[in-house]
Structure 1
Amino acid sequence: MILSKLLFRLGLCAALFLVSCQSPNIRREKAGHLLIVGGGLDDDLRGVYECFLKLASAKGKPRVLIATAATEQGAEVKSEIVGKTSALRAWSPDVQVGVITRETSTEETVEAIDNATGILFTGGSQARIIQRYRPNERETPEWHAMKRLLARGGVIAGCSAGDAMMGEFMVLHGDNTGALVAPAMPKDETVVDFKMSHGMALLPWAISESHFFERDRLARLVVMLESAGNRLGIGVGEDAAVHVDLATGDLIGLTPADSLLVDASHLETEGQMRSGLRARLVRQGDRICLRRLLDKKPPPPTAKPPDTPSTIHITSPGQNRQLALWRLFMNARRPGSGVWEMHFKEGWKLQAWPDNKRWVAFEVSPE
């Protein structure tokens, strides 16, 4: 009996090991939290700061680090440090605030992270973050310290570049048209219109994009998912933020400004067209389990209706361009609303129509 139980347990452990090896995108984290901010983290975004400080103080007094690796050196770094420190102390007067820059030594950086309960990455260039903390996918002492912070229940937040670097892969440069015409794998040095790289690998289930609605980055995100072999992408707009609970896999909308969750499970490529795609808006208070989405492949999206598309026009210069792409998904999520279409001056087109429940089916292509 004892031997049979032992063999059963060994078999179970072996099965779990095989599952974990065969499903790298669904690996399970012990604990920790990510706050992904699309850009424009103003001092009055109360929901973001309150969530960040609450998570950072879960086990006592919050000890926060401002990480400026992405930000250009000089006056801009000083401005970020002063601004973010003032904002944090406005919402939590007793918070301890430290700073780590690109020039901070490895020893000092590791010690600071090991004593922290939260890190806030400022904006700038995500390439600078990777060059400093995970160059060529190398697991540096600083990167291990960040993973330890998450494992003990801490929080890492990133704004703009700090958003884009969260996943296993990230974009370095390129627009939607360049991505659709010439998708590039991370090690392809020949393509200049669109370039990807390995990210910080803090977010296990998805690729994240910043400034999403304002810069119309939907097609670029789709090509990133295709090139990296990921199923899920999170596009976060300016003044928008989502919370990812690494213990549960939940994606939670934090702000009145929306984000977009893209599912490429049934992605099909024909020439430069990408179809078979689904998306849903992530609104304030929404809770979506990324882990559960990846555990079971959904059915294919609803076929495109034969309707004549209704056009969403991009707003004129000087107006908020966020409204156009966002309006399209708001309209297309209504059952029976037909096909909605946008034409972008960069030379690509988007068509979307209602799918099941809150989801929208869509396709993207060059004009």
Structure 2
Amino acid sequence: MVTKDRAAGEGRGLLAVIGGNEDRDGDRAVLAALLRALPMQRPRVLVLTAASGAPAELWQHYRAAFETLGAEPFWLDARDPEELDTAPAMARLAAVDLIFLTGGDQHRLLDTLGDTPAMDLIVRRHATEGLAVAGTSAGASALGARMPRGDEGSQIAGGPPGPLPPGLGLWPRVVVDQHFSERKRLSRLVQFLGVSPGHVGLGLDEDTAVFLHPDDLMEVVGSGKVTVVAGGGPGTRLQAMGQGECWSLDEVSLHLLTGGLRLDGRHLPEGTPDALRRLLDRSVED
């Protein structure tokens, strides 16, 4: 158990999603902002590289970055659920202030972490003990309610994708996509909403992050922008319309957020778009 002087205390922890390729060698603005958002002077950071195909190399980059920024990093390189279901791994998960999920393949991450006692511990500590959870690239996509598959291109041809697989669910009703502007993923995110009605799409540019603070403040940090897309409501679907298959999704809204934006979910200004209100709603899905 993390002691009171190290953790945020009882209550929800910070949630952070990063679009990938955040600066790890220069001013490290996104990672520095992430650590500043934590309530302790020298946070203990567990770098979980389960998504990566080159975990040792990635760990060396993050170890150097977090140490330079004043944190105390640790490495957990689980390749399957059994490697997480050990006393040392569970003890480490119980004793850190921030879980950091690296990039790679979100499906590999879900195969390792999803539906395990380790994930149950992370969820409980995040909800009640102030444990912060952050993910970058594939790690960010895995934190949503649903997550993009890795096999679709930037522009989906031939109709909508099939149902999206579930993510870890720490951000309810949200589908997180990353490397967004760089890989021209707007089209696919819009189409993802067609098979995930009622969800909000969150497209993160590289070196850009969204922080959800425990007090319901949402903050955008970094050098790029964040694209928020919402389509229709529950029941909206992509539909084939005759020969040639014209696919349509009604009532799509799009919002661009830039670094420095701060939205207080407790005191949203009049006229705040419904998509942003839904983004800030972290209640559990029905």
Q: What percentage of residue pairs aligned between the two structures are identical?
A: 25
Q: Which residue of 1 aligns with 2:205?
A: 237
For residues 229 and 32 of structure 1, do their structure 2 counterparts lie closer, same or farther at Cα, with a shift above 3 Å needed? same
Output the amino acid matched with 1:88. Answer: F
Q: Which residue of 1 aligns with 2:7?
A: none
What SS class does the counterpart of residue 178 from structure 1 fall into?
A: coil
For residue 268 of structure 1, report the CA deviation from its aligned partner. Answer: 6.9
What SS class does the counterpart of residue 229 from structure 1 fall into?
A: coil
Output the amino acid matched with 2:85. Answer: T
For residues 223 and 70 of structure 1, do their structure 2 counterparts lie closer, same or farther at Cα, with a shift above 3 Å needed? same
Within the candidate set 78, 96, 112, 1:116 is matched to 96
Rg larger for = 1
Q: Which residue of 1 aligns with 2:126?
A: 150
Distance between the aligned counterparts of 2:266 and 2:167, measured in 1? Answer: 20
Distance between the aligned counterparts of 2:143 and 2:198, measured in 1? Answer: 14
Q: Aligned residue pairs: how many?
A: 249
For residue 109 of structure 1, report the CA deviation from its aligned partner. Answer: 2.3
Distance between the aligned counterparts of 2:272 and 2:100, measured in 1? Answer: 34
Within the candidate set 269, 276, 279, 2:251 is matched to 276
Kindly indicate whether residue 217 of structure 2 is the aligned counterpart of residue 257 of structure 1: no
Q: Which residue of 1 aligns with 2:183?
A: 215
Superimposed CA distance per residue, residues 56-111 of structure 1 (whole angstroms, 9 cap, x where no aligned partner): 4x146311101000001xxx21111111010111111xx22111112444123221
Over aligned residue pairs, what C-alpha RMSD do you find?
2.7
Within the candidate set 184, 188, 199, 2:167 is matched to 199
Unpaired runs of 5+ residues, structure 2, are 1-9, 240-245, 276-286
For residue 262 of structure 1, report the CA deviation from its aligned partner. Answer: 1.3
What SS class does the counterpart of residue 256 from structure 2 fall into?
A: strand
> Quick check: 1:33–1:156 contact (8 Å CA) kept in 2?
yes
Superimposed CA distance per residue, residues 329-356 of structure 1 (whole angstroms, 9 cap, x where no aligned partner): xxxxxxxxxxxxxxxxxxxxxxxxxxxx
Distance between the aligned counterparts of 1:168 and 1:159, measured in 2? Answer: 16
Distance between the aligned counterparts of 1:289 and 1:184, measured in 2? Answer: 35
Kindly indicate whether residue 64 of structure 2 is the aligned counterpart of residue 89 of structure 1: no
For residues 55 and 298 of structure 1, do their structure 2 counterparts lie closer, same or farther at Cα, with a shift above 3 Å needed? closer
What SS class does the counterpart of residue 63 from structure 2 fall into?
A: helix
- Give the 4+ runs in structure 1 shifted more than 4 A: 266-270, 289-293, 296-300
> Quick check: 1:209–1:235 contact (8 Å CA) kept in 2?
yes
For residue 202 of structure 1, report the CA deviation from its aligned partner. Answer: 1.1
Distance between the aligned counterparts of 1:148 and 1:30, measured in 2? Answer: 10
